[in-house]
Amino acid sequence: MFKKLSGTPYMLWSIIFIIVPLFLVVFYAVSTKDGDLTFGNFKRFADPIFISVTVRSIYIALLATVVCLVLGYPLAYGITSVSPKYEKLLVILLVLPMWMNFLLRTYAWQSLLGRNGMISSLLKLVGLGRVELLFNEGTVLLGMVYNFLPFMVLPIYTVLKKIDTKIIEAAEDLGANKITVFMKIVLPLSVPGIISGITMTFMPAVSTFVIPALLGGGKYTLIGNLIEQQFLLVGNWNFGSALSVILMLIVLISAAILYRYDKQEERVNI
């Protein structure tokens, strides 16, 4: 087995560029600047300031996920029910913005909402005067929803698309009305899509530092911003690594919870 693992370039590559760096981060997280082992970095994290940033990160990511789900599910469901010609077009339209650079998409909102931006100008036209719409929780949430909505819609759409229409006809044949069909058939069958949609929305949202940096104006700090600051501004790699470990834990735990839901669903399906 060892021969096989080391025998190929990619196995070596994975060890050097995937496994070793993670161990380095863990090592930094549990050591001082001088390399002595310590839990001080995690103790420091217990400070209310950092706790509140972490809680805020999870809260806003959850909020963004919920909004994406609420907006996205009806959209995915709607797309499956239009005529095939429009369906294809709509899917393309949905995918297209994902090919646009993430930074540019976020920047677009910055210039829309800024003091001299479009919306501000419109408000001025109707006599409300220029306002600063940027740099609050709402704009960060907006940025997240805007960027991650397609990631919620596409997996749900794919799963909905795969549902056999005969199953729905069978349910109707057995006397279910449209609402019952949706609640008892369509919704349960689309859970795998919802789960992967949630994963693809929550994970990047909880770890982002670009959206708060551009749309939160540095006033709205998330755990991603903390990590960035520790590594690039403060230069405290040990504390930064500890924060990274905590972020990884958040991601792992949420993945584990979602995975359990997914598994349960599979069991029900069998």
CB closer to other proteins out of 107 and 170 = 107
Rounded to an integer, what distance in angstroms lies between the CA atom of residue 86 and that of residue 103? 29
How many residues bind other proteins, per CB under 8 A?
78
The answer to whether 197 contacts other proteins (rule: CB under 8 A) is no
R_g of the chain computed on alpha carbons: 23
Determine if 32 is a binding residue for other proteins (CB under 8 A). Answer: no
Q: How far is the CB of 62 from other proteins (least distance, A)?
A: 16
Which residue reads 């996205």 in tokens? 72
Q: Which stretch binds other proteins (CB under 8 A): 44-52, 164-172, 187-195, 205-213?
A: 205-213
Site for other proteins in 91-110 (CB under 8 A): 93-94, 96-97, 99-110
Q: Quick one: 150 or 193, whose CB is closer to other proteins?
A: 150
66 binds other proteins (CB under 8 A): no
**178 vs 184, beta carbon nearer other proteins:** 178
Find the length of the chain: 270
Positions 108 through 147 that interact with other proteins (CB under 8 A): 108-112, 114, 116-122, 146
CA 235 to chain CA centroid, Å, is 27
Given the rule CB under 8 A, which of 31-39, 90-98, 183-191, 260-268 is the region that contacts other proteins?
90-98
CB of 223 to other proteins, least distance (A): 9
Choose which of 63, 187, 248, 258 interacts with other proteins (CB under 8 A).
248
